[in-house]
């Protein structure tokens, strides 16, 4: 199975992607996690991406498309994959369409007034990419691997606003794009985490 998770920053794409990828035994591909790892490893790609990420802008399509093209050819993608945070522009969606056929695009809907609180309280694991929220996770270490959690620089309020504007302008048009292609599955993301997972599983089983 090949899936795309669409939705604004803070919608719960990463949280749900981890669960769904495990359930269907497919690779979880988060372009955000990949870029953060490139930055940590001080690669050329990381250097190219950093200034865009820090400003809450999208990394140029040319950089991202090549990265995803290589990634989906790896062995762990043989059984399928879940793209979390890609595509984010029509050009990326067109490029992906040239590479492979996607089964479903899951659009996780959350009212915009909820997103800032979700993002500003997010704490991330640097090692496994798991996301927690300060209101529901008191410890400052990852439950899965024990690493010390951190707050992403781009999750600070100054940058969050621009990320939401960029989402509306560049990524939200993909909802209609995939609707027209008969791929869209819309899920209410404004429910408890387990309920969102159930809604996705039910939608995929239809």
Q: Is 61 exposed, middle or buried (0-12, 13-18, 19+ CB in 10 A)?
A: middle
Helix, strand, coil shares of the chain, percent, nearest 5, are 50, 15, 35
> CB under 5 A: which stretch of 14-22, 43-51, 94-102, 134-142 binds Zn ion?
134-142
Cα–Cα distance, 112 to 118 (Å, whole number): 10
Q: Does 9 bind ligand ADP (CB under 6 A)?
A: yes
Choosing among ligand ADP, Zn ion, none, which partner's interface includes residue 133 (Cβ < 5 to 8 Å by kind)? ligand ADP
β-strand 2-6 against 104-109: which pairing, if any?
Answer: parallel
Please, what is the minimum distance in Å from the beta carbon of residue 189 to ligand ADP?
6
Q: Does 13 bind ligand ADP (CB under 6 A)?
A: yes
Q: Does 129 bind ligand ADP (CB under 6 A)?
A: no
Choosing among ligand ADP, Zn ion, none, which partner's interface includes residue 129 (Cβ < 5 to 8 Å by kind)? none
**CA-wise closest residue to 6 among 85, 122, 101, 68:** 85
DSSP 170: I
Choosing among Zn ion, ligand ADP, none, which partner's interface includes residue 13 (Cβ < 5 to 8 Å by kind)? ligand ADP
Return the structure tokens found at 112: 């915009």
Residue among 13, 36, 118, 123 flagged as catalytic: 13
Q: Does 145 bind Zn ion (CB under 5 A)?
A: yes
Q: Which residues contact 113 (CB under 8 A, 6 or more apart)?
A: none
> CB under 6 A: which stretch of 10-18, 21-29, 74-82, 178-186 binds ligand ADP?
10-18
- Is 156 an active-site residue? no
Please, what is the minimum distance in Å from the beta carbon of residue 90 to ligand ADP?
12
Please, what is the minimum distance in Å from the beta carbon of residue 126 to Zn ion?
8
Q: Which residues contact 102 (CB under 8 A, 6 or more apart)?
A: 2, 3, 4, 96, 183
Cα–Cα distance, 111 to 187 (Å, whole number): 12
Residue of 85, 102, 184, 200 that binds ligand ADP (CB under 6 A): 85
**Could you give the 3-state DSSP secondary structure of residue 75?**
helix
Judged by the rule CB under 6 A, the positions of this chain that interact with ligand ADP are 7, 9-15, 31-32, 35, 52-53, 56-59, 64, 85-86, 88, 92, 118, 121-122, 131-133, 154, 163, 192-193, 196
């Amino acid at each position: 199975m090949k899936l795309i998770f669409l939705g604004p920053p803070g919608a719960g794409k990463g949280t749900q992607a981890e669960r769904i990828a495990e359930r269907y035994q497919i690779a979880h591909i988060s372009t955000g996690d990949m870029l953060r790892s490139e930055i940590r490893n001080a690669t050329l790609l990381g250097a190219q991406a950093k200034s865009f990420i820090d400003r809450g802008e999208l990394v140029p399509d040319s950089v991202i498309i090549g990265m995803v093209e290589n990634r989906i050819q790896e062995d762990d993608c043989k059984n399928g994959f879940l793209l979390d945070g890609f595509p984010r522009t029509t050009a990326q969606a067109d490029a992906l369409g040239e590479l492979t056929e996607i089964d479903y695009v899951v659009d996780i809907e959350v009212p915009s007034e909820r997103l800032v609180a979700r993002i500003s309280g997010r704490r991330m694991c640097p090692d496994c990419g798991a996301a927690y929220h300060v209101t529901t996770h008191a410890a400052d270490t990852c439950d899965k691997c024990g690493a010390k959690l951190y707050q992403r620089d781009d999750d600070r309020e100054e940058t969050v606003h621009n990320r939401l504007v960029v989402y509306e302008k560049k990524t939200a048009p993909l909802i209609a794009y995939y609707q027209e292609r008969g791929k869209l599955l819309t899920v209410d993301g404004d429910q408890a985490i387990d309920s969102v997972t159930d809604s996705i599983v039910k939608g995929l089983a239809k």
